[in-house]
Structure 1
Amino acid sequence: MKKGMHFSQLISDEQNKTHFIKNAGLAKPALLNELGTSNIKLNEYAYQIINSERFNPEGLSSSITIIECALADLGLTGGGNFSEINAAIVKFDLCACPVEFGTYIRLAYLEQAESNVETVNQNPHGALTIFSKPLFENEDFPRGLYLRNFNNAKWLRGYCCSDDYIWTSDARMIFQIKHPDK
């Protein structure tokens, strides 16, 4: 962690955006319809996550407050894997987002900057990864979701990676704020 870095400094950085995300209480079919109506594209991994029996959008809390920031802002200047990121966010009173909120986060982030840089087997340029706990501890099942605006299309994409995959220090992620009133 950066020396003297505190939660208040994290949220005061203009690049680190906070959002209040409301759960509309939609069941899976209505949620998929809402994404389609909003012209949000999904890849096969996103469909696997949403169609999983463990994906329960009706069991969510009514709302969460999130922050978008780079891993370097959390003190991970060399990047980090899932467990290192998880350890870093605790110091800032952040936690993993429920994966089900990924759909609502995508609907709230319709003004995401476009990136047309293609990548293979790495975190895509311009992506906003939603930091969440995987639904299954199986590395063959998608681990989570990320947002991307690619070729004039808004995407909610699922991804697979190993537990030791390292996100770069400039990778931007979305975390839940545990106590948004701070």
Structure 2
Amino acid sequence: MNIKGKQVYPNCPTIHRALVIGGMTKTQLIQKLQQSTIALNEYAQQLFASDIFTTSHTKYTVHTVQLTVRDLGYAKGATTHELFKRASDLGLKLCPLELAVYLRLEYVNQPEYSLNNSSKRHQAPSGSITIASEIRTEDDHFPKGFYLRRINDVLWLRGYLADHLHVWNPGDHFIFCQTTFRKT
């Protein structure tokens, strides 16, 4: 598929990662984040405290791909539902919530974007990477998932709010899982 001369997944540039996740409790993950001086916003803390955030007792390998909204064929942006449907049609899966923590712990060289360069209100901030995960609540005031960001040389794991009408911009970055999960 092409959109105005741009290649769409899987025929576009991508960033692939393999991560070993699982095997730690919520408490252990929070301690690991604190030891690594990774900051959490209030929404991330809400997710951690909720029953929505679960951890796997078993370690396993997850293969991910980082794509933009445009890479999924949406030159003018798309809703979360549209993005997740297109990703599914392309053989990609949503990520477990805990993947965001392991990725944040591993991805320490994330580029920093100036706050002067940040996005407008109700949009993904410049330089952020949203982890595509199942939306587990209809409550528009409860965080839907996590995103990664670096601000003033501080690594952040942040939760975000987005209702079903929210339109993601073409340049917004997402992490999806590829279909294979392997136990380690």
TM-score under structure 1 normalisation? 0.88
Cα contact 2:75–2:170 (8 A) shared by 1: yes
Partner residue in 2 for 1:21: 19
Gaps of 5+ in 1: none
Task: Classify the secondary structure of the residue corresponding to 2:96.
Answer: coil
Flag the 1:107–1:83 CA change in 2: closer, same or farther, 3 A: same
Match runs of 1:50-89 below 5 Å: 50-58=48-56, 62-89=60-87
Is the strand fraction higher in 1 or 2? 2
8 A contact 1:98–1:132 mirrored in 2: yes
Aligned residues: 176
**1:22 Cα deviation (Å)?**
0.7
Structure 1 equivalent of residue 166 of structure 2: 165
Q: What's 1:92 paired with?
A: 90
Counterparts of 1:5-20 in structure 2, within 5 Å, are 5=8, 7=10, 9-10=11-12, 13=13, 16-20=14-18
Residue number in structure 2 paired with 1:174? 175
What pairs with 1:101-140 in structure 2 (closer than 5 Å)? 101-117=99-115, 118-119=118-119, 120-140=121-141
* 8 Å CA contact retained: 1:116, 1:150: yes
Q: Percent identity?
A: 30
- Cα shift at 1:139: 1.2
Task: Report the Cα distance in structure 2 between the residues aligned to 1:141 and 1:23, rounded to whole angstroms.
Answer: 25
For residue 88 of structure 1, report the CA deviation from its aligned partner: 1.3
SS of the equivalent of 1:57 reads coil
Partner-residue secondary structure (3-state), 1:58: coil
- Shift in Å at residue 104 of structure 1? 0.7
Moved more, 87-96 or 64-73: 87-96
TM-superposed deviation, 1:5: 4.6
Stretches of structure 2 that go unaligned for 5 or more consecutive residues are none
Q: Distance in 2 between matches of 1:112 and 1:5?
A: 24
- What is the TM-score of this pair, normalised by structure 2? 0.87
Offset from partner CA, 1:28-73 (integer Å, 9 cap, x none): 1110010111111000100110111221113566121111111111
Q: Output the aligned Cα RMSD.
A: 2.0
1:92-129 Cα shifts (integer Å, max 9, x gaps)? 21111111211111112111000123442211011001
